[in-house]
Amino acid sequence: MRYDLDDLRLFLAVVEEGSITAGARRVHLSLPSASARVRALEHHAGVGLLVRGRRGVHPTPAGAALVRHIREVLAQTARLEGAVASYATSPASSLKLLVGGSAMHGMVPRALVTFLQEHPGVDVHVTESRTPDTVRALLDGEADWGVVVEDEALGHGLVTELLTDDSLVVIGHSGGVLAGRTALSYSEVAEHPLVGLTAGASLRRWIEKHAAPQAPLVRYRTTVGDLSVVCALAAAGVGLALVPRHAVDASLALAVCALEDPWARRRQLLARGPARGPVSEAAAALAVHLRGAAARQPVR
């Protein structure tokens, strides 16, 4: 048989209220209409569902079983309606953010958490991107914001502002070869086994582009896709690593030394395309959260 959801809601209300009158009132039906619906439900079920008495009604065993299933059906219906409703209206806005790999460690995730919580009607599409690619996308109007490395982004006509320091440091096990050192050159670092990011990572490619041509050929003991894993491997004594200072995990037993090569001093900028009008309210709000996350970024 086919069950009408309104009849099921009525029957549940009647059982929970203990009265057809009160149940009818709860679902905004008249008493005659509610009584007729309950009788029709019992007729179609072929079994009595309610025990009627002077002090109200209570379910028969069949009625109690029906109530359990009604609750499950209504819960599933609510979930179904919620799932479909999420596609019924487009979000108020959709933003595209392009970021370098090191910005994906800490700063951007923190900004996304607070922004998305405060702006449920806005979607943010985040893509890891090298600075030259981000610059081209911003100039072509293909993204709202980019987090870029300063020396590769200036001079292209972008609107930029300083976001955070992204200078590189050398890390290794606290009791290892870095003990007693405060700074090393890349050539010295390259003489030791390293752990690093995978070859396609934007930070790895940036390091290899700027490293001195005369530096020794680097031996990577392993490469991974996450800076947190790189830090953990370095702390375990697997090898030295080059990471942004803000990526160093203070909870790990790490020695930290400055990388003295000039190219190791980097700054990240928040950038957008050439000004062609006011920034949207959603984009401006995302920038506020990125600035806040950068200001809260721990530095060791």
pLDDT digits (tens, 9 = 90+) for 170-187: 999 998 899 889 999 999
- What confidence score (pLDDT) does residue 147 get? 95
> How many CB atoms within 10 Å of residue 223?
17
Indicate whether this model's pTM tops 0.75: no
- What confidence score (pLDDT) does residue 196 get? 94
Short-list 94, 141, 96, 99, CA closest to 269:
99
Dihedral (Cα; 289, 294, 298, 299), 10-degree rounding: 180
Task: Report the distance separating Cα 88 and Cα 294, nearest Å.
Answer: 36
The predicted-structure confidence for 97-147, as pLDDT tens digits, reads as follows 999 878 888 889 999 999 999 998 899 999 989 899 999 999 999 999 999
Confidence grade of residue 239 (pLDDT, cut at 50, 70, 90): very high
By CB neighbour count within 10 A (0-12 exposed, 13-18 middle, 19+ buried), where does 105 fall?
A: buried
The predicted-structure confidence for 269-285, as pLDDT tens digits, reads as follows 999 998 767 888 999 99
- What confidence score (pLDDT) does residue 250 get? 84
| Domains and their CATH numbers in the chain | 5-85 (1.10.10.10), 93-165+267-295 (3.40.190.10), 168-264 (3.40.190.10)
pLDDT at 214 over 70: no
What does the block give as tokens for 7?
Answer: 């009849």
Mean pLDDT of 47-51: 91
The predicted-structure confidence for 251-269, as pLDDT tens digits, reads as follows 899 999 999 999 999 999 9
